[in-house]
Amino acid sequence: MVKIAVFASGNGSNFEKIVLNSQNKYRVEILIVDREDAYVIERAKKIGIEYVYINPKEYISKEEYEKKIEKILQEKNIQLIVLAGYMRIVSSYLIKKFNKKIINIHPSYLPEFPGKNGIRDAYEGKVKYTGITIHYVNEKIDGGEIIFQKKIEIKSDWTLEILETHVHKFEHEYYPKIIAELSKKIME
Ligand code: GRF
């Protein structure tokens, strides 16, 4: 079974769905968190997944911080890194070590609305459609090769909250499925 590490910084709803919907296709070995107060830690405790909090401020550079992470990933024989609300840019150091083995989910139909506020930007942009995108992580922020996308029509009477609910529902449905598919390919 493919061994996965999830990186997260916040709420962790995707992390939880990824763990609960693995269907024996992959195994979440560890959660890496960069914020001590992230709610995702509570979720990890509840569902019994090991987690490590690593404080980036304790390292003199991003590379040193990522070397610490890399050491943990090696100890656990991690084959795939899954970013799920990880609010930090992965540097070329880790990207090179895990070439095409780091994926991310973004809450818009890329290349539309990259950046931190994908849902809000689409909503305020008054576009008809937005969506979700799962992509490989490379040096370009939200710019790596796209693995999967799904469109969502923004109905004219939707509030931002309604749109958020729909986006997250799709994320929760498709991220575990795509991870399972990638895991199958890794095993081949
Ligand atoms: C998701 O919308 C994801 O697309 C984005 O950050 C959010 C994380 O949500 N990258 P959660 O922490 O998984 O609840």
One digit per residue, pLDDT tens: the chain, 188 residues? 999 999 999 999 999 999 999 989 999 999 999 999 999 999 999 999 999 999 999 999 999 999 999 999 999 999 999 999 999 999 999 999 999 999 999 999 999 999 999 999 999 999 999 999 999 999 888 889 999 999 999 999 999 999 999 999 999 999 999 999 999 999 88
Amino acid, res. 157:
D
pLDDT, position 143? 83
Give how far Cα 65 sits from Cα of 31, 33, 90, 102, 183, Å: 16, 12, 11, 17, 27
Ligand 1 centroid to Cα of residue 96, in Å, is 24
Atom of ligand 1 nearest to the CA of 86: 10
What CA–CA distance (Å, rounded) separates 175 from 11?
A: 16
Residue 166 appears among annotated catalytic residues:
no
The finding on whether 107 has its CB within 6 A of some atom of ligand 1 is: yes
| Sign of the alpha-carbon dihedral angle for 95, 13, 178, 141 | negative
Residue with CA at minimum distance from ligand 1 atom 6:
85
* 3-state DSSP helix/strand/coil % of the chain, to nearest 5: 40, 25, 40
In angstroms, the first-to-last Cα distance of the chain is 11
Ligand 1 centroid to Cα of residue 12, in Å, is 7
Ligand 1 centroid to Cα of residue 151, in Å, is 17
The finding on whether 131 has its CB within 6 A of some atom of ligand 1 is: no
pLDDT, position 13? 98
